[in-house]
Amino acid sequence: MKPFLLAVSLTCTTFLTPFPTLAASQQKVLEAAQEQEQPLLETLETLVNIDSGTGYVEGLNKVAGILEQRLERLGAEIETRPAPKFGGKTLIGTLNGNGDQNLMLMIHYDTVFDEGEVEERPFRTEDGRGYGPGIGDAKGGVAVILHALAILEELDFKKYGTLTVVFNPDEEKGSLGSRDAIQQLAKDQDAVLVFEPALGEDDVDAVTVVTKGINYVFLDVEGRASHAGSAPEQGRNAIMELAHQLLQLDELGNADKETTLNWTIVDGGAKRNIIPEQAHAEGDMRYFDAGEYERVMNEANKIIQNKLIEDTKVNFRIDKGRPPMPDNPQTQALAEQAQAIYSELDRDLNAIEIGGGTDAAYAYTPDSDTPAVLESLGLVGGRYHSADEFIVLDSIVPRLYLATRMIMELSGQAPDS
């Protein structure tokens, strides 16, 4: 990782001290956030206790039905779009205000966990933490959005132009069925706030200002089958050629540009007594520099010309995933704004870059001032994608306060003006 892009403290934030006395308008927001803490936990329990792994359409539809009802009760106009490839639907709710700034709040409601995970470890709280499948990544973010909207309704705040909420069902597998909708909707926004949990180190309170892009790499070898005992010399061993190529391609990363390429899946062969005619490998590529796609592709295609076994065919390809969200002044400005809001509560807020990719990159438009995009406005937690995934319960009120105040400030109005 590069150094942090803003001056921040790395001290783990806890929320055990009393909140300071605020200006009257800010105090109203804080009190409303405190009133929403228990309702948010109830929402979170409901959402977490529904299996909604990517592709598990039955569970995804249950969650989507709940979210649609909640948005309708908040006065949103609802649109749904199918998410091809893995199934489920992208839910779009729009609130119309009386201002001129268009804002979008976005997060996914799928998880990485299989059907049946909830039965094994349903929602629970213990020692200041909440646990359950997808509680941080990213059902906590869904809950923050819903209850920030409830605060705005309670305070009768409508000084935005439009407030668009996007809940998508396939982020954990690249948002292949929802990314077009995200990109289309984002182009009409002045700012996009994304509600992944605080990323980086566990328990550390942060927003994300830079993300890597993700590509998927594939290597296929075609050989020739033959009897492994009586005529091995007539075969062309695809596994051996694949191993040779993987060793050659192991240096495709670039440390100076922080590009990584790691081979993570290998398969080949059918039976022990047959020289394998097919072998396949897949890998994960992460990058900041958009030009790395062409470099890696060109270098790889030169390298694979050097074969260990004659008469084999080798093919290398890259499928593009999420683009990077690079360092940019609009995101930096949002991060500084978020830090200033957090300081109202005497809290420090880190601004970090991460090696993973998120849907924030689909919302970001290169070479354009809009929309400004900020990531990781969900809850503080850690151990995401594991059985130990958690949220910090004492992050709920500060994060609700942050989300609500960000919407108010981005609308160009003070909460009581």
What is the Cα gyration radius of the chain?
A: 24
Residue 87, phi-psi category: left (phi > 0), alpha (psi -120 to 50), beta (remainder)? left
| Helices 396-410 + 140-154 axis angle, to 10 | 60
Burial class (CB in 10 A: 0-12, 13-18, 19+), 213: buried
Contact between 129 and 69 under an 8 Å Cβ cutoff? The reply is: no
Give the span between the Cα atoms of 408 and 400, in whole angstroms: 12
Residue for token pair 């948010």:
40
Name the CA dihedral angle for 165, 169, 174, 178, rounded to a multiple of 10 degrees.
-60
Active-site residue, from 110, 117, 172, 389: 110
Active-site residue, from 171, 190, 196, 359: 171
Instruction: State the sign of the Cα–Cα–Cα–Cα dihedral 397, 402, 403, 404.
Output: positive
Tell me if residue 171 is catalytic.
yes
Q: Give the containing element (helix H, strand E) for 183.
A: helix 179-186
- The alpha carbon of residue 388 and the mean position of all alpha carbons in its chain are separated, in whole angstroms, by 18
Catalytic residues: 110, 171
